[in-house]
Structure 1
Amino acid sequence: MSYRWRYERTDGTQVDGPELTFEDQAEAEAWFTAEFEGLADDGVEQVVLLEGEREVYGPMLLSP
């Protein structure tokens, strides 16, 4: 299974974000660590990590 991020507003409404998939959870998390400030600047308020269609964790807020 591949991993990907779902991008949302705090009310759970999905918003557009990069359509990327990752081989493993560590790769997905490393990408997010490097990119989260840009995502927040683009209007993403929270993210959910998915493995296939299964929610691994989240929602995780991007604001402090």
Structure 2
Amino acid sequence: MAEEREVQHDPQVLEGDDDLPRQPASHRDPYTPEPGPRPGERRAFRLMLWALLPIAIAVLVVVWAAVR
């Protein structure tokens, strides 16, 4: 037998500053995205971009050695 589904007769709509109506997150959906990165995450992504520099240098050295 098929599993019964919950039916929502009157949808809940949240009002906000934007023009689009929003519905609250479902109780079954545990993931609700955060509005933006936290300060520690910004610092980590900035550091990750600096980590690309040695990788780029290594790629350039390998390409230079292959061409030479």
> TM-score per shorter chain, which class?
under 0.3
Q: TM-score, normalised by structure 2?
A: 0.21
Relative to total residues, which structure has the larger helix share, 1 or 2?
2
Structure with higher RCO (Cα < 8 A, 6+ apart): 1
